[in-house]
Amino acid sequence: MVFVCYNNPDMAIIHNFAVFEGGDGSGTTTQLELLSGRFAEPGLPPFHAAFEPTGGPVGVLVRKVLKGEIALRPETAARLFAADRNEHLYGPGGIVERCGRGELVASDRYTPSSLVYQGITCGDQLPASLNSSFPLPELLIFFDLDSETALKRIASRPGKDIYEYRDFQIKVRSRYKALLPRYEEAGVRVECLDASLPPEKIAEQVWRAVRKMPIVEEALRNRSFVRQ
């Protein structure tokens, strides 16, 4: 496998930025919703839940590709994912802007998804090239789930995406596990969680991981000081 080389010491990390990753059905969206509720508590930093593909013009097109409504070459889809991410990062109200002004941003999917999914569909080289200049998150949480359990969860959905079948999801899980050490080597804190656990138990593990981020630690210290 040829993945992006993230051991460049000059590679930027976006502080205050967390990413949720996992195969389809692993619960990333559910956990992001639960985490959003946690940040409704007073005394915590401003929180923004983000998603990829985004709700922007390119992201809407990507979602149509995922649903099979538009048929494109895998290489074209990979370029669209990267274009949507570029806007997500640098566009008005994007990740860089929000994190820079002291918000904590958590995104349901980011560069690892492209390296895994598009790596399967069109080979490693193009996704690696398209994503090599994007900055890294401070925290990456991987929701690990076996493909059989994931597919049982997906079966209850009203419609399936083009990647939601057994053989593909087996490859997805394997490639995530091969990729995550590259992020750790680059200075990203990686947390691997058992996504087969009940959602409330996973949510507590997510919170323990997120609360170690400096922006949250400082807010909790300040909140504790005020209460004294």
- In angstroms, rounded to a whole number, what is the distance separating the alpha carbons of residues 225 and 219? 10
Q: What is the pLDDT of residue 11?
A: 65
Chain-centroid distance of CA 128 in Å reads 17
Q: Are strands 47-51 and 136-144 parallel, antiparallel or unpaired?
A: unpaired
- In angstroms, rounded to a whole number, what is the distance separating the alpha carbons of residues 118 and 6? 18
Q: How many CB atoms lie within 10 A of CB 217?
A: 11
| Mean pLDDT, contiguous 10-residue spans, the chain (228 residues) | 48 94 95 96 95 98 95 97 98 97 98 98 96 97 93 78 88 96 96 97 98 96 66
Specify the residue for token string 């983000």: 50
Q: What is the pLDDT of residue 5?
A: 45
Specify the residue for token string 């990390």: 13
User: What DSSP element (H or E) covers 18?
Assistant: strand 13-22
Q: How many CB atoms lie within 10 A of CB 150?
A: 25
Q: What CATH number does the domain located at 13-227 have?
A: 3.40.50.300
pTM: 0.93
Q: What is the pLDDT of residue 9?
A: 45
Where do the domains of the chain lie? 13-227
Q: What is the pLDDT of residue 228?
A: 47
